[in-house]
């Protein structure tokens, strides 16, 4: 998870968010599915006057954190315990395959945001693309298909990007001024550009670190094992 945080940091040019936040108004922030808490820690460090809350179903976050940050155990799939109009900014990242009802998720985000508040959500595609066609029968070509089928089996889609679920669910919840940004990320050290080469190298490390666990987990539901 920390490698993935580093990847996004590099993809965004060192920025923690793309939202044009006005820190004269932003006082309370929620990080949903915080994981190891890396983003929440960096954000709290950068903005010591902002109260930051990170939620996750697993208590894997460190205890030594900025004083303006706290972590809470919570399942984003359930009704949120926060009151209406609580937050100025909500950050959601990498929950693909974790959410049963994205429309409910964004309804809860809309409810708990203050009027004029912002929601930012980052989700990856699991489908690899290249300048040259990828053989659909190869391990690389089958990778996303296995996840897509597994998502159907346990009711938590991996096609968030492909079906534009974020945008559709945000619109249905009542969000306006929705901005969509697609960013391509290399995997591997093949790019000639030094910055992209570094990004691709870190992305490869992050991906390979996930491959065994994710592949086996997905195979449990799909009934087959991808061999690379």
Tokens coding 185: 């990320």
Going by pLDDT thresholds of 50, 70 and 90, the confidence category of residue 217 is low
Q: Count structural domains, the chain.
A: 1
Supply the pTM of this predicted model: 0.89
- Strands in 69-73's sheet, in edge-to-edge order, are 69-73, 51-56, 28-32, 87-93, 113-122
pLDDT at 224: 36
Closest CA to 184 of 118, 116, 131: 131
Q: Give pLDDT tens digits for 138-173.
A: 877 887 888 888 888 889 999 999 999 999 999 999
In terms of phi and psi (left: phi > 0; alpha: psi -120 to 50; beta: otherwise), the region of 179 is beta
Q: Give pLDDT tens digits for 15-55.
A: 999 999 999 999 999 999 999 999 999 999 999 999 999 99
CATH number for the domain that contains residue 187: 3.40.50.150
CB atoms within 10 A of CB 83: 9
pLDDT at 144: 82
Q: Tokens 């820190």 — which residue?
A: 23
Going by pLDDT thresholds of 50, 70 and 90, the confidence category of residue 212 is low
Q: Tokens 């950050």 — which residue?
A: 91
| 227 has a pLDDT exceeding 50 | no
108: Cα separation from own chain's centroid:
17
**Which contiguous run of DSSP H or E holds residue 117?**
strand 113-122
| 225 has a pLDDT exceeding 90 | no
The HSE-up count of residue 136 (CA atoms within 13 Å, CB side) is 1
- Domain span at residue 206? 1-224
d(CA 52, CA 61): 14
Give Dmax over CA atoms of the chain in angstroms. Answer: 53
| 6 has a pLDDT exceeding 90 | yes
d(CA 217, CA 215): 6
Q: Are the CB atoms for 186 and 194 separated by under 8 Å?
A: no
């Amino acid at each position: 998870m920390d490698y993935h945080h580093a990847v996004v940091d590099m993809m965004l040019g060192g920025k923690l968010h793309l939202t044009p936040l006005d820190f004269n108004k932003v006082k309370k922030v929620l990080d949903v599915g915080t994981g190891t808490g890396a983003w929440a820690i960096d954000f709290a460090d950068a903005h010591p006057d902002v109260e930051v809350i990170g939620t996750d179903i697993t208590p894997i976050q460190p205890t030594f954190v900025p004083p303006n940050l706290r972590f809470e155990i919570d399942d984003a799939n359930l009704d949120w315990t926060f009151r209406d109009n609580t937050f100025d900014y909500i950050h959601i990242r990498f929950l693909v395959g974790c959410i049963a009802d994205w429309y409910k998720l964004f309804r809860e985000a809309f409810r708990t945001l203050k009027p004029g508040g912002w929601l930012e959500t980052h989700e990856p595609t699991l489908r690899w693309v290249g300048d040259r066609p990828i053989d659909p029968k190869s391990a690389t070509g089958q990778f996303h298909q296995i996840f897509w089928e597994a998502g159907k089996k346990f009711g938590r889609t991996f096609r968030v990007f492909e079906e534009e679920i974020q945008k559709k669910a945000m619109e249905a919840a009542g969000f306006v001024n929705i901005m969509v940004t697609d960013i391509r990320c290399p995997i591997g050290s093949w790019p000639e550009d030094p910055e992209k080469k570094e990004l691709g190298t870190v992305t490869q490390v992050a991906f390979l670190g996930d491959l065994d666990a994710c592949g086996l987990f997905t195979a449990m539901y799909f009934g087959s094992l991808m061999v690379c």
